[in-house]
Amino acid sequence: MGSRHWICGLCLAVFLFARVGEAQWRDPKLIAGQVGFNIAVSFVGKMVVHHEPPGRAFKQALKEGSVSGLLAHTGYTIAGRNPNYALVGKTLVQKSSLTTRRSINGLPVFDDTFYSHWELTHSFVHFKWDGSPHVQLDAINAAFSAYYLFSPDQYAFDARRSLLSGSVVFVNHDPPPGLRGYYVPGVIWIDTSRDDAQWVLSHEIVHSLQSERGSAIKEWHYENIRFNWLVFASGVPAFLAGWPEHDTRWHEIEADEYAGSERLRSTETRANSGGASTPRAVRRRR
Ligand SMILES: [Zn+2]
């Protein structure tokens, strides 16, 4: 099947999902962001890393990056709207990164590997299928998980949400006012009561998808350990939470829009805006 069929098929799928009625499916900003990112990464990678002529690189990047971007958009929307299906969304998002990485390296994208190669990082475990299963330890997520597991204080481990969200989830059932939640690689903290936790969880799950974005560019493996170093460039909003204008940064806007949390957030006062990703370190200093 030609790549044009893939693009038409995915466009149709996105269009059909859009009929379901959730605004995220057909949000042109979100789609353009995903498609633009993957086309740009593929194009630059092809030229810089593999010295392909710009004309050919752009043509290929346009086709492969578009499909990759639509896969990512589908995954982000599923995970943002339905935290219980976050693993499905995350699998599509990681499929998008895998597709763009193959595109950069000049490997075929629209062949059998489109069905047979999949990856999924659940908390600190990285699964890969490429005809046979591979399990690796995600080193960076494991380091963060270990650090936070040994400092649980008022948080309770939430097994169900941990299983379904793809990150280790801790919930604070009695949080101080203004706190909501935050994400560090592999771990989600929710500072909220049970009833209104869903949009906070969705927002943080989107951050966990963003943290996989860098692996579209490159990832490193050593023995049975995976190093997704670019997590630091693309997906650790907690590190940026103390920066000014936290809520207007692009990764926050994207997380809000996919999770549908923008409207809810705007009903809170600025005084309460500790940020949906306020890191524990910052809070402890207060
Ligand atoms: Zn956030």
Q: Residues 116, 154: one domain?
A: no
Residue at 220 is within a domain: no
Does residue 227 surpass a pLDDT of 90?
yes
Q: Residues 123, 177: one domain?
A: no
CA of 255 to the centre of ligand 1 (A): 6
Q: Residues 131, 147: one domain?
A: no
CA of 256 to the centre of ligand 1 (A): 7
Q: Residues 181, 57: one domain?
A: no
Residue at 226 is within a domain: no
**pTM summary value:** 0.86
Pairing mode of beta strands 187-191, 168-172: parallel
Pairing mode of beta strands 125-130, 117-122: antiparallel
CA of 81 to the centre of ligand 1 (A): 15
Cβ 213 vs Cβ 76: under 8 Å: no
CA of 278 to the centre of ligand 1 (A): 8
Residue at 179 is within a domain: yes
Kindly report the number of other CB atoms within 10 A of residue 27's CB atom. 16
Domain interval for residue 119? 3-136
pLDDT tens-digit map of 48-92: 988 999 999 999 999 999 999 999 999 999 999 999 999 999 999
pLDDT tens-digit map of 19-44: 555 788 989 999 999 999 999 999 99
Residues near ligand 1 ion, CB 5 Å cutoff: 252, 255, 276-277
